[in-house]
């Protein structure tokens, strides 16, 4: 078993303006760096063995701040925990997106479905867990992976059978979501805001 904590990256200017980032590579703003430091402090209360992230700048910088605080090297980027591709919706304000497409589950030209995002992210979580079990067997390892709101939402939706997150529930920048990853399953253990 591996404990895997998905942390949402810190705030960006596009988060602040409620603009859909998707795969657009937007860096953290100063509030986002503070989010990352707050997450690092909260995570420092536990024992962790590795830190990974999405390849996007906002996730890599958040992960580097956390890794530095924990005294761990930042592991390689994990492409399958990158943010959802929003296709034609990318760059739109959230209100514009909802007005144009109705909801987050709509089929948008060029966009990934939430199910596809969840499938690739969960597959990545299993790969990370397998690698960690080889390194640390027989003890459980605790791994941090900095990802994105859409990815974390898709994973939670998948493992909860569609009951979580609740409609309208916001996954805050810097929030953490802890999972137990075993060879055959991924189970949500808890969620908490780090700031």
Catalytic residues: 9, 83
- Tokens for 183? 């060879």
Burial class (CB in 10 A: 0-12, 13-18, 19+), 155: buried
Per the listing, tokens 């960690």 go with: 132
CA dist list (Å): 149 to 17, 154, 168: 15, 8, 13
């Amino acid at each position: 078993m591996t404990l895997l904590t998905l942390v949402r990256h810190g705030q960006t200017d596009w988060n602040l303006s409620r603009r859909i980032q998707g795969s657009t590579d937007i860096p953290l703003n100063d509030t986002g760096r503070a989010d990352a430091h707050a997450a690092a402090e909260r995570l420092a209360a536990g024992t962790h063995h590795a830190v990974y992230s999405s390849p996007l700048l906002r996730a890599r910088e958040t992960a580097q701040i956390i890794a530095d605080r924990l005294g761990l090297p930042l592991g390689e980027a994990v492409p399958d925990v990158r943010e959802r591709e929003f296709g034609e919706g990318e760059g739109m304000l959230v209100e514009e997106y909802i007005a144009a497409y109705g909801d987050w589950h709509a089929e948008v030209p060029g966009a990934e479905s939430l199910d596809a995002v969840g499938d690739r992210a969960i597959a990545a979580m299993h790969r990370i867990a397998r690698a960690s079990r080889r390194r640390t067997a027989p003890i459980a390892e605790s791994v941090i992976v900095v990802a994105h709101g859409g990815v974390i939402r898709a994973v939670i939706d998948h493992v909860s059978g569609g009951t979580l997150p609740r409609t309208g529930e916001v996954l805050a920048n810097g929030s953490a979501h802890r999972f137990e990853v075993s060879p055959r399953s991924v189970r949500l253990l808890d969620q908490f805001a780090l700031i």
